[in-house]
Structure 1
Amino acid sequence: MNRTQQDYLFQSFRELFDPANDAPITQWGIEVQDGWYVIIAQMCSDLEALQRTRQSALPKIRQIKGRFQF
């Protein structure tokens, strides 16, 4: 995913992404092609909405990676 899209997701959904130094997402970023951006952004938005309605802790995303990248 390009850097602009990735940075937007990291800034907009800070509570979702694991900030630990050993988290693969911290070391490698989001490892998918740009076409996944809309799907991942919607998922993050849905998770935050769920957290507001359930008032429970959000999961921490440690890695997003495509299995095959061309």
Structure 2
Amino acid sequence: MRGELGALLGPATAAARDETRDRVRWAGDARLPVETGVWRVRLEVSLRQRPDLAGGLAGVVSTARALRPV
């Protein structure tokens, strides 16, 4: 997912994804609701600034859902 986000939203977003991964690794699943909220806002802001990203973000979300363990 890092590559897809980086290609779409830039290297700062790819680095933020890595930071999120590290925080969840250290804090555990209890951190997931916080990180989910952070990313919800981050993506909403990105879409407001660049509505042309909607299709690409939809593809990233679809890929993430497919990779998510059930």
Higher helix share: 2
| Class of the TM-score when normalised by the shorter of the 2 chains | 0.3 to 0.5
Q: TM-score, normalised by structure 2?
A: 0.35
